[in-house]
Amino acid sequence: MFQSHYLWERTVATLNPFRAFAPKRALLAGSVALSLLLTGCSDTSQPDTAAKVVRPVSSEIVSNHDQQQLHFSGTVSASTRAELSFQSSGRIVELMAKEGSQVSQGDVLARLDAANAQIGLALARTELENAKVEYQRANTLFNGQHGISKSQLDEITLRYHMAQNKLKEAQKKLDDTYLIAPFDGVISRQSANNYTVIQANETIFTLHDLSQMEVVIDVPEAVMVSTTPKANIFATSPLFPKHTFALHVSEYQTEPDPMTRTYQVTLGLETQSGAQLLPGMHVQVVSQWQPETSHVSVPLTAISPDNLGHQYVWVIDNQSRLNKRQIETGSLQGNRVQVLASLQAGEHIVTSGTQRLSQGLQVRPLYQ
């Protein structure tokens, strides 16, 4: 009886395979239901803990930049300078100065071999003495009873005057064997050595008067034609970071350089104790002035163009949100741009990184 019941169960299981797993299915369904019940009882009202990211941006408070500036690169030079040379050729026999020597006006700096010049001077003196004696005798004869003709006297007088001129020329040739300092100064460069043969007008020394210095700059034509109020001009040098050197316009060219189209302007340099600028040094020249009309200015990096070519800035409101605002720009002043309209002093603007900003974006200003 038991065996036949077992066979019956096997047959049923074969005909309906899902019935064999009915107890397991019931157990699995119960587990899922319990899990859903526990989930439903859990707290689903937990707040979102992820903090909202606020983008930091570089910014500044707009203000009136009344004082305008222009910057130029300048070169220091001596106001009085000269390249010294002999006016005749010859062999240098003595150099009395060297580079860095402080000399005074009238000092002998170098000397040429003067043997031939001395011989020439002696001959000229002898010739003048003979001509003088002949002239005196002829003048006596012309005025006496044993007189000579007027034409003879004129000829003798001419020879006498020529002898006088020859003596002056001979004396000048001897004087030209000496190189004399024309003014007080410092020998900045020596271009010839002792015992060398030089030609006339060949530079031997370069002399600078360091008591009067100047700065030379090249100014673009756009700046030359602009009318600006009286400017405060000064120079700075990295060699003397604690000093500024006052400048004033001394002279300027009215024709531009054909290659650079710039005008050379010479600025007088006022001396300052404790800081001596030397010829050839480079300085930064700053020209400052107060414009007649005052406008705010913003950094060049704060301005971005739109697709229509308009210029705009990002303004930060009181809730630290961005507002895109179109502006009217003026002249470029160094790394800043003058704003003529649509922006007021005291407003906050983004100064860099404006490419990825959007209207209404909340930001965290980082003031510079």
As a whole-number percent, the residues of the chain with pLDDT over 70 amount to: 81
CA distances from 222 to 218, 226, 228, 261 (A): 12, 6, 12, 10
CA distances from 81 to 147, 202, 208, 339 (A): 60, 16, 4, 47
* Banded model confidence at residue 22, pLDDT cuts 50, 70, 90: very low
Number of domains in the chain: 3
- What is the model's pTM? 0.59
Sign of CA dihedral 167, 169, 173, 179: positive
Q: Determine, yes or no, domain membership for 58.
A: no
- Structural domain including 279 reads 69-78+209-289
Q: Determine, yes or no, domain membership for 253.
A: yes
Distance CA(280)–CA(2), nearest Å, equals 124
Residue 16 pLDDT exceeds 60: no
Least confident of 206-215, 245-254, 330-339: 330-339
Q: Mean per-residue pLDDT for 189-194?
A: 96
Q: Are both 74 and 221 inside the same structural domain?
A: yes
Q: Which residues contact 220 (CB under 8 A, 6 or more apart)?
A: 261, 262
Give the pLDDT of residue 331.
78
Neighbour count for residue 207 (Cβ, 10 Å): 23
Give the pLDDT of residue 70.
85
Q: Are both 116 and 131 inside the same structural domain?
A: yes
CATH of the domain at 163: 2.40.50.100
Q: Are both 313 and 283 inside the same structural domain?
A: no
Looking at every residue in the chain, the average pLDDT score rounds to 84
**Residue 193: closest CA among 182, 185, 202:** 202
Residue 28 pLDDT exceeds 60: no
Q: Determine, yes or no, domain membership for 341.
A: yes
pLDDT tens string 336-350: 888 888 898 889 999
Q: Are both 181 and 238 inside the same structural domain?
A: no
pLDDT tens string 265-320: 999 998 767 788 999 999 999 988 766 666 788 888 999 888 888 999 999 999 99
Higher pLDDT, 181 or 299: 181
Give the pLDDT of residue 67.
64
Q: Mean per-residue pLDDT for 60-76?
A: 82
Q: Are both 97 and 192 inside the same structural domain?
A: yes
Residue 26 pLDDT exceeds 60: no
Among 203, 234, 267, the domain boundary falls at 203
Q: What is the DSSP letter of 329?
A: E
Q: Mean per-residue pLDDT for 190-219?
A: 95
Give the pLDDT of residue 131.
96
Q: Are both 146 and 222 inside the same structural domain?
A: no
Residue 66 pLDDT exceeds 70: no
Give the pLDDT of residue 332.
77
User: In terms of DSSP H, where are the helices of the chain?
Assistant: 2-15, 17-20, 22-41, 115-143, 150-175, 221-225
pLDDT tens string 97-119: 999 999 999 999 999 999 999 99
**Residue 183: closest CA among 211, 215, 213, 203:** 211
Q: Determine, yes or no, domain membership for 120.
A: yes
Q: Are both 107 and 181 inside the same structural domain?
A: yes
Q: Determine, yes or no, domain membership for 281.
A: yes
- 150, 137 Cβ separation under 8 angstroms: no
Among 203, 230, 257, the domain boundary falls at 203
Give the pLDDT of residue 337.
85
Residue 228 pLDDT exceeds 70: no
Query: Which residue bears the tokens 């006022």?
Result: 270
Q: Within 13 Å and on the Cβ side, how many CA atoms surround 154? A: 3
Q: Mean per-residue pLDDT for 3-26?
A: 45
Q: Are both 276 and 311 inside the same structural domain?
A: no
Q: Are both 192 and 341 inside the same structural domain?
A: no
Among 168, 203, 238, the domain boundary falls at 203
By the 10 Å C-beta count (0-12 exposed, 13-18 middle, 19+ buried), 9 is classed as: exposed
Q: Are both 166 and 233 inside the same structural domain?
A: no
Give the pLDDT of residue 82.
96
Q: Mean per-residue pLDDT for 4-33?
A: 45
Q: Are both 129 and 215 inside the same structural domain?
A: no
Q: Mean per-residue pLDDT for 7-12?
A: 45
Q: Determine, yes or no, domain membership for 241.
A: yes
Residues 37-51, buried b or exposed e (16+ Cβ, 10 A)?
Answer: eeeeeeeeeeeeeee
* Banded model confidence at residue 368, pLDDT cuts 50, 70, 90: low
